[in-house]
Amino acid sequence: MNKKTSNNSTNENLVKSKISAAYVGGLKAQTPNGQTGIFAVLDENGNVIDSGDAVTKKIWKVCLESHNSFWIGNGHLKVLSKPDE
């Protein structure tokens, strides 16, 4: 993950892991030694409720839907098409 990050990086509060996102690639987590991290849902006692690709895909989908809803609600997202010729 040799991506240039700004000082406003969302990773600034993480102690050991890195999280990245790309529109095409979705969410990714990386451990300090470069291994792929796994996203999980934990309860308040630290018990793993769900984990793995299904969680990663669901988190990504919720993020995109939320972002798109924000733009639609503010009139910034428009879909344009040309008439059939």
Q: How far apart are CA 60 and CA 56, in angstroms?
A: 6
pLDDT digits (tens, 9 = 90+) for 52-76: 998 998 888 888 877 777 777 765 5
Half-sphere exposure of 46 (CA within 13 A, CB side): 0
Predicted pLDDT of residue 39: 95
Placement of tokens 């990504």 in the chain: 60
Max CA separation in the chain (angstroms): 61
| 11 Cβ contact list (under 8 Å, min separation 6) | 5, 18, 19
In this predicted structure, what is the pLDDT of residue 10? 56
The ranges assigned to domains in the chain are 15-73
Q: Copy the structure tokens of residue 54.
A: 């299904």
Average pLDDT, the chain: 77
User: 12-41: per-residue pLDDT in tens?
Assistant: 677 889 998 887 888 999 999 999 999 999
